[in-house]
Amino acid sequence: MPVFVRDCVAAGNGANRPARAARFDTRRGRTQLTNETPQLWFVELASPPTADGGNPATLASERAAFVGEARNARLNYSVRYTYQSLFHGFSVRIAPSDLGRLSRIPGVQRIYPEGNVA
């Protein structure tokens, strides 16, 4: 089930706090915490993808508007991949502390954490 970060951040339930996992360090004989907060996110934009009838020119314009708004918000992120066929949006690398600002960019519908499926 996808996590809707916009809803979590708005609800103030700590979605932007780092998740930590404990791991025992056998060399030092103590437990260490590892930050497991996702840094990679899917950003879904408003218009439907081309598979659902979205117009490629409209999608490109919406993506360009997102980039401009993100720049104006001084968001520190990097785009890994751009999608428009089955999903309309981006794969981005961004600090968890910037998720709230990312979710408020006009045109952003949802933000999903990326994960591996085994």
Report the top-level CATH class of 5-12+21-113: alpha beta
Domain range list for the chain: 5-12+21-113
The answer, as to whether pTM is greater than 0.95, is: no
Q: Is the pLDDT of residue 78 over 60?
A: yes
Q: What is the pLDDT of residue 26?
A: 62
- The average pLDDT across 36-65 equals 94
Q: How much of the chain, in percent, has pLDDT values that exceed 90? A: 62
Amino acid identity of 99? L
**What's the rounded mean pLDDT across residues 95-116?**
93
Tokens of residue 118, six digits: 């085994």
- Can you give the pLDDT at residue 3? 38
CA 96/CA 103 separation, integer angstroms: 11
